[in-house]
């Protein structure tokens, strides 16, 4: 989550998705959106329609993030619900660094209890955000350490949100290693910072920011990322990729990011989608795609 206006930062002036865009995401079979916040409007207002549009773009699995005391239980509910013919939703739960001050013993106990669900694939998003510093750095660092401990005890991977804080985050992980390879969601660091996380076995997940013309250092990191460590995400409703920039993002738009990253890496988009999906299966223990996901008949 980069910055929801109400709770976590910028993006207040997003165009309502109701204004129909002439841009339709390319259809790239086998896409996985490894990070989205489906419990935000307008996605949640008609979740089946949101998932149908995602399926039309080739998305066959989604990972939804519940990263606050308020949204953790809802995330498990969303993931456990059956939606025949629609792409399955899995969950990742934790407390966002912006809300690290709320991580008390009761919240940690609830998080641990909820994480017992088989639909909860990972713990997070935790991490450090020194860009907004919505919680004091020391509190964020302590909360991150508690999340590493919990993820290790549960044998689940950890999803990290790191912004302007790679040095401290790397130092915490060096002092308290993750037993399973973790995931840096919405990676926005430099190629060097990317290499340091890769050296520690982490996966790097790229969002729509990688499609922005000005994101040249990030595009360099995306080009340099080994094929077996790259993940794709939207962080919807935030960070809509070009050509939807400034609008509410949604899982279907991961296809735009896949197409752009494939061009950057000199790859076929369909190959990158399948490679990133295989990486998501390894990183999260994501079950294979359900054969039952019906995508609309190709015109």
HSE of 188, CA atoms in CB hemisphere, 13 A: 20
Residue 180 DSSP code: S
Task: CB nearer to Zn ion: give 161 or 229.
Answer: 161
User: Least distance in Å: CB of 9 to Zn ion?
Assistant: 10
Task: CB nearer to Zn ion: give 60 or 193.
Answer: 193
User: Least distance in Å: CB of 127 to Zn ion?
Assistant: 7
User: Least distance in Å: CB of 238 to Zn ion?
Assistant: 8
Mode of pairing for the β-strands spanning 89-93 and 183-185: unpaired
Q: Which residues sit opposite 62 in a β-bridge?
A: 33, 89
Strand order in the sheet with 59-66: 31-36, 59-66, 89-93, 120-129, 158-163, 183-185, 203-206, 230-232
Burial of 256-280, coded b for 16+ CB within 10 Å and e otherwise, reads bbbbbbbebbeeebbebbbbbbebb
Task: CB nearer to Zn ion: give 27 or 156.
Answer: 156
User: Least distance in Å: CB of 90 to Zn ion?
Assistant: 17
User: Least distance in Å: CB of 163 to Zn ion?
Assistant: 8
CA pair distance 123, 130, nearest whole angstrom: 21
User: Least distance in Å: CB of 126 to Zn ion?
Assistant: 10
Burial of 112-149, coded b for 16+ CB within 10 Å and e otherwise, reads eebbebebbbbbbbbbbbbeeebbeeebbbebbebbbe
Task: CB nearer to Zn ion: give 236 or 262.
Answer: 236
Nearest residue to Zn ion on Cβ basis: 161
- Positions touching Zn ion (CB under 5 A) are 1, 125, 161
Question: How many CB atoms within 10 Å of residue 173?
Answer: 21
Task: CB nearer to Zn ion: give 156 or 161.
Answer: 161
Query: Is the CB of residue 156 less than 8 Å from the CB of residue 129?
Result: no
User: Least distance in Å: CB of 21 to Zn ion?
Assistant: 25
Task: CB nearer to Zn ion: give 27 or 161.
Answer: 161
Task: CB nearer to Zn ion: give 40 or 58.
Answer: 40
Query: Is the CB of residue 234 less than 8 Å from the CB of residue 257?
Result: yes
């Amino acid at each position: 989550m980069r910055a929801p206006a109400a709770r976590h930062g910028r993006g207040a002036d997003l165009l309502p998705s109701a204004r129909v865009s002439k841009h339709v995401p390319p259809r790239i079979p086998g896409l996985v959106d490894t990070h989205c916040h489906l419990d935000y409007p307008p996605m949640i207002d008609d979740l089946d329609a949101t998932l149908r549009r995602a399926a039309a773009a080739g998305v066959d699995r989604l990972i939804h993030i519940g990263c606050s005391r308020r949204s953790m239980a809802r995330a498990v509910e969303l993931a456990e619900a059956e939606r025949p013919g629609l792409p399955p939703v899995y969950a990742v739960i934790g407390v966002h660094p912006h809300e690290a001050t709320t991580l008390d013993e009761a919240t940690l106990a609830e998080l641990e209890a909820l994480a017992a669900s088989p639909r909860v694939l990972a713990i997070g998003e935790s991490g450090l955000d020194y860009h907004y510093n919505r919680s004091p750095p020391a509190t964020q660092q302590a909360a991150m350490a508690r999340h590493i401990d919990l993820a290790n005890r549960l044998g689940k991977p950890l999803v990290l949100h790191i912004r302007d804080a790679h040095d401290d985050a790397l130092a915490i992980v060096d002092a308290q290693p993750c037993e399973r390879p973790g995931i840096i969601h919405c990676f926005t660091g430099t190629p060097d910072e990317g290499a340091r996380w890769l050296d520690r076995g982490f996966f790097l997940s790229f969002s729509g920011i990688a499609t922005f013309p000005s994101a040249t250092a990030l595009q360099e990191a995306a080009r340099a990322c080994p094929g077996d460590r790259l993940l794709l995400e939207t962080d919807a409703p935030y960070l809509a990729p070009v050509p939807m920039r400034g609008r509410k993002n949604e899982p279907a738009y991961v296809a735009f990011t896949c197409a752009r990253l494939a061009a950057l890496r000199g790859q076929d988009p369909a190959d990158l989608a399948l490679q990133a999906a295989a990486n998501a299966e390894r990183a999260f223990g994501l079950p294979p795609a359900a054969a039952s996901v019906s995508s609309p008949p190709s015109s």
